[in-house]
Structure 1
């Protein structure tokens, strides 16, 4: 029942947002074509700029947008976060894959600044494994640690892009959303003994904010 209600709410909100976004007209230099900001039919692509670790450009998150009009854009975000650690006789690994289709409504702002709001579906899949001299574990690091899951979320986002050159921009974004997770089974294989599976049908529902940890560097094609 919880899962059916979540799906109904998600699709109803996105449909309503899409309908309202089509009615908004932006008045700026971009509406006539040849401006600094994107207009109808143009595509943007962007990467995440890391401000916290040793690398400058992080390719763990990519995003593309297609502008239906100067005020409305479809978006698709893809993220991949992989972790692997080997310490003595232990190996731990996790992989998080997420895909988020959505829609944005852009406001006039200025010739260079493009503020927007939007909505997106958030699909995610988390994998984990563990191995030492005694056990191999698929689906987690144990029976309750870093357990694999499938996630479905609905989020509202707000942000702004600043075009410091023609068709080149830096952006920031934050969001707030609802996430449902259903956890998968964990298979434990002792090196000496019988294998067994933990599958106790766990799920969770959370509501909270999210902030992208860095600037986005994007280009208009």
Structure 2
């Protein structure tokens, strides 16, 4: 698999170089890079990983000129799993019982990039990106209480809110006109506030306790995106 993606990348680069040489045989300039009023869309590409192509949110950039661009990465996902832990059996007066876990995550990362001159194909840049994230989680388990079905529910055991900012630097290498590969690293900080854990139940004798407050964490340091960005400008 590694050899396959390496070969494909080399063939693509060689084809792009050949196309560049052919079209510039009469010294006609070609514009490979994103320019004024153009937009780019990206996905993550890991040629040497178990999942070569993945999507870690939707990332777009809006170029106001050949040097300046606003960027936005949006990730929103819902993961809900339900397992039947007891089958309904009327002869034994058993009710169907379920176990459910749900996680909802949202991450918004707006920012700005300043692109340097670079070369005809290479576009290095630096910039600033903000990090706003929220995650909600719940775990619900049903149990039979005589002829009734009750449940216990734990909310936000994995819930958090995160605020942060990163100074980023990277480059885009255009392997063909408006088609590029890129990578990026950064240095930044973030504060993560763990949400209070709540316990709920529909049992009539249940008294909901006070939320279990938790702490938070502050992180500061370098961060690297191990994935290669594959993007197109239009």
Normalising to structure 1: TM-score of the pair? Answer: 0.72
1:49 to 2:45 alignment: yes
1:167 to 2:158 alignment: no
Conserved 8 A contact 2:134-2:162: yes
Q: Which has the larger radius of gyration?
A: 2
Number of residues paired by the alignment?
182
The unaligned stretches of length 5 or more in structure 1 are: 1-32, 141-145
After superposition, residues 76-91 of structure 1 pair within 5 angstroms as 76-80=72-76, 82-84=78-80, 89=85, 90-91=99-100
Q: Structure 1 residue 213: deviation in Å? A: 3.3
CA distance in 2, matches of 1:185, 1:82: 20
Q: Structure 1 residue 199: deviation in Å? A: 4.5
RMSD of aligned Cα (Å): 2.4
Conserved 8 A contact 1:101-1:121: yes
CA distance in 2, matches of 1:213, 1:195: 44
Which portions of structure 1, spanning 4 or more consecutive aligned residues, are displaced by more than 6 angstroms? none
Conserved 8 A contact 1:60-1:80: no
Match of 2:57 among 55, 61, 64: 61
Deviations 1:195-219 (A, max 9, x none): 3342426333211332223111111
Q: Which moved more, 1:98-107 or 1:186-195?
A: 186-195
CA distance in 1, matches of 2:31, 2:213: 56
Deviations 1:157-177 (A, max 9, x none): 111111000001111112221
Residue aligning to 2:106: 97
1:157 to 2:174 alignment: no
Q: Which moved more, 1:94-103 or 1:206-215?
A: 206-215
Residue aligning to 1:118: 127
Q: Structure 1 residue 57: deviation in Å? A: 3.0
Conserved 8 A contact 1:60-1:81: no
The unaligned stretches of length 5 or more in structure 2 are: 1-28, 86-98, 143-150
CA distance in 1, matches of 2:224, 2:74: 16
1:211 to 2:224 alignment: yes
Conserved 8 A contact 1:178-1:208: yes
Deviations 1:100-137 (A, max 9, x none): 11111111221111111111111111111112346211
